[in-house]
A and B are shown apart, each in its own frame.
Chain A
């Protein structure tokens, strides 16, 4: 950790009642956050939930309208310069100079951090090698692919290893290969002791990476916990069913509601149902009722709820699966 000089007890992030309004829109509406040092903490929410605004406030880019926060013990309002000295932020869109080469972008930042002459170039080259960009180092960034830009963008945040790294939707718009590679990078940074606060609208991403997850919607935190806790809070399990005959789905829904007492959630595929059940016995009874009514099942399974289902249970609406790049 780069901040041994600071009081060892302070949390990485400690936010109380952070709020930001844009006109009538409460983009962030009184969020409390406690992130211990060294953790990967996920902020999960749909587009427009306020994730980016929250991150921008914590990164000193936007003054809060109300509330306060400390980052590594430094108060956002009182010592923003110290906060900036111990954080790095990788925004949603690659914040790079497209006209310069990848290497020049990194040298520029290294010099701004105070590396001089040769040491700035060495630092840039180290990062390029580590991020598998050495071959493209003399190409202009405008000729980079999406995955390369994202890697360079994250490299740019690591010129001096930050105490806290903010990543705003680090894999939005990346193909599965590039996404996996960014995930690996995030994990290895975390192993090296960097606290990471990342936002995502991919439930899988939060599930894969984050030790704790805060779910936010309409600027409010609606749940927080480990992925396991969030799932447990939603119920012990989910029964997933696929009918052979899609036309009988309403009948099945009604039957299941009568027997188990919980309302089934229809998935986007027409013939599939998910149902929260508190005990396996209850699931059994539901299945038995369907068989008795001669409703044939193509497939069924019992499992812990996915984060999608958690999100549905918490907010009452389904997350958008298609990301769109315009979140406020």
Chain B
């Protein structure tokens, strides 16, 4: 290293005016966007499983379950979007765990910035992930013959609901990310928790044929409630009750887990 240059240009003692909390948060959002640029393959992780599910379920089981593959796709697609978003909400928790393990958060925490702005950045990344994954799956669905009867408005509303769902479920994994030691533990926990929630729901089949004890659960499973509202929005006939029921879980999760996340983060 050139010593002369080092001494002269290293020194920048005049600190610029303190940026606003919003500006801090936006910088972290920019970081999330850069991640997409540098690691585009993460999109594969986001959409490969749901695309495979869509193809397999539609063409293997679809005819048997709904009479025709076309009818099944119409039933299944809004559900697979919910499933995708719920699964993908674990990525910010994993990202958080990675950053904590690498010591990156130590640097952020020793900066004079709004202490929660790194989380805002994770949220921005989440929202982008959910939108990109949902649009890709929707696109493939339309190619296969899916038609959202609710039109553009219906789709936009459905996407908004998906973002809210992802936001709510994201807190679970941020908490896990703060508590678990490694990103892969977060992932394992996520799969263990989400699998039963997703399968014991109305995403893949109409629960009418399930045994009574299981239906008791399926009917109140937040994933079922969210899927019902998604179907309604995409079809253009969602009721306020359906929407309200779908929002219970995301809102409750946010109310309970957001403060817990902050507590764990500040204590760490």
Chain A residues in the interface with B (C-beta under 8 A): 1-2, 56, 59-61, 81-82, 84-85, 87-89, 91-101, 104, 108-109, 111-116, 119, 123, 126-127, 129-132, 140, 151, 156, 158-161, 181, 184-185, 188-189, 191-192
What residues of B have a CB within 8 angstroms of the CB of A104 in the complex?
Answer: 34
B17-56 CB contacts (< 8 Å) to partner A: 17-19, 23-24, 27, 30-31, 34-35, 38-39
Report, nearest first, the 10 A-B pairs whose CB atoms are least far apart: A2-B13, A114-B16, A95-B103, A85-B112, A95-B107, A114-B19, A84-B112, A188-B7, A111-B27, A132-B1
Cα-based distance from A285 to B23 in the complex (angstroms): 74
Given A56, A84, A98, A130, which contacts B111 in the complex, CB threshold below 8 Å? A84
Given B16, B35, B110, B113, which contacts A115 in the complex, CB threshold below 8 Å? B16
Counting chain A CB atoms within 10 Å of each CB, the highest count among B15, B34, B102 belongs to: B15
Contact A181 B103 (CB under 8 A): no
Task: Please give 9 more A-B residue pairs, beta carbons under 8 A apart, in addition to A93-B102, A114-B19, A140-B38.
Answer: A61-B106, A88-B110, A91-B107, A96-B102, A113-B112, A129-B5, A131-B6, A160-B15, A188-B6
Contacts A2-B13, A87-B110; A132 near B2 (Cβ below 8 A): yes
Cα-based distance from A140 to B1 in the complex (angstroms): 21
Cβ-closest chain A residue relative to B2: A132
What residues of A have a CB within 8 angstroms of the CB of B14 in the complex?
Answer: 2
What residues of A have a CB within 8 angstroms of the CB of B23 in the complex?
Answer: 111, 114
Instruction: Quote the shortest CB–CB distance from B182 to chain A (angstroms).
Output: 15
Instruction: Quote the shortest CB–CB distance from A183 to chain B (angstroms).
Output: 10
What residues of B have a CB within 8 angstroms of the CB of A127 in the complex?
Answer: 9-10
Contact A89 B1 (CB under 8 A): no
Contact A100 B104 (CB under 8 A): no
A-B contact pairs, 26 of them (CB 8 A): A2-B13, A60-B109, A60-B110, A61-B110, A85-B112, A99-B38, A111-B23, A112-B111, A113-B112, A114-B15, A114-B23, A116-B16, A119-B16, A130-B2, A130-B9, A131-B1, A131-B6, A140-B38, A158-B10, A158-B12, A160-B13, A160-B15, A161-B10, A161-B12, A184-B3, A188-B7
Cα-based distance from A96 to B35 in the complex (angstroms): 13
Cβ-closest chain B residue relative to A159: B12
Q: Is B240 close to A, CB under 8 A?
A: no
Contact A91 B103 (CB under 8 A): yes
Cβ-closest chain A residue relative to B99: A97
Instruction: Quote the shortest CB–CB distance from B35 to chain A (angstroms).
Output: 6
For chain B, give the interface size range. 35 or more
Contact B11 A156 (CB under 8 A): no
Cβ-closest chain B residue relative to A63: B267
Cα-based distance from A281 to B113 in the complex (angstroms): 63
What residues of A have a CB within 8 angstroms of the CB of B117 in the complex?
Answer: 112
What residues of A have a CB within 8 angstroms of the CB of B111 in the complex?
Answer: 84, 109, 112-113
Cα-based distance from A94 to B19 in the complex (angstroms): 25
Contacts A93-B102, A161-B13; A84 near B3 (Cβ below 8 A): no
Chain B residues in the interface with A (C-beta under 8 A): 1-3, 5-7, 9-19, 23-24, 27, 30-31, 34-35, 38-39, 99, 102-104, 106-113, 117
Instruction: Quote the shortest CB–CB distance from A201 to chain B (angstroms).
Output: 18
Contacts A61-B110, A108-B30, A185-B1; A114 near B10 (Cβ below 8 A): no
Contact A94 B103 (CB under 8 A): yes
Instruction: Quote the shortest CB–CB distance from A127 to chain B (angstroms).
Output: 7
Cα-based distance from A158 to B12 in the complex (angstroms): 8
Instruction: Quote the shortest CB–CB distance from B1 to chain A (angstroms).
Output: 5
Cα-based distance from A85 to B106 in the complex (angstroms): 15
Counting chain A CB atoms within 10 Å of each CB, the highest count among B16, B24, B102, B113 belongs to: B16
Contact B112 A81 (CB under 8 A): yes
Contact A114 B1 (CB under 8 A): no
Contact B12 A123 (CB under 8 A): yes
Given B3, B24, B35, B99, which contacts A112 in the complex, CB threshold below 8 Å? B24
What residues of B have a CB within 8 angstroms of the CB of A126 in the complex?
Answer: 9, 12
Counting chain A CB atoms within 10 Å of each CB, the highest count among B18, B35, B112, B113 belongs to: B112
Contact A184 B31 (CB under 8 A): no
Contact B110 A59 (CB under 8 A): yes
What residues of A have a CB within 8 angstroms of the CB of B24 in the complex?
Answer: 112
Contact A185 B6 (CB under 8 A): yes
What residues of A have a CB within 8 angstroms of the CB of B18 in the complex?
Answer: 114
Contact A161 B11 (CB under 8 A): yes
What residues of A have a CB within 8 angstroms of the CB of B17 in the complex?
Answer: 114
Instruction: Quote the shortest CB–CB distance from A25 to chain B (angstroms).
Output: 18
Instruction: Quote the shortest CB–CB distance from B208 to chain A (angstroms).
Output: 47
Given B10, B16, B102, which contacts A189 in the complex, CB threshold below 8 Å? B10
What residues of B have a CB within 8 angstroms of the CB of A130 in the complex?
Answer: 1-2, 5-6, 9-10
Instruction: Quote the shortest CB–CB distance from B133 to chain A (angstroms).
Output: 19
Instruction: Quote the shortest CB–CB distance from B88 to chain A (angstroms).
Output: 18
What residues of B have a CB within 8 angstroms of the CB of A116 in the complex?
Answer: 16
Counting chain B CB atoms within 10 Å of each CB, the highest count among A92, A113, A151, A161 belongs to: A113
Instruction: Quote the shortest CB–CB distance from B160 to chain A (angstroms).
Output: 29
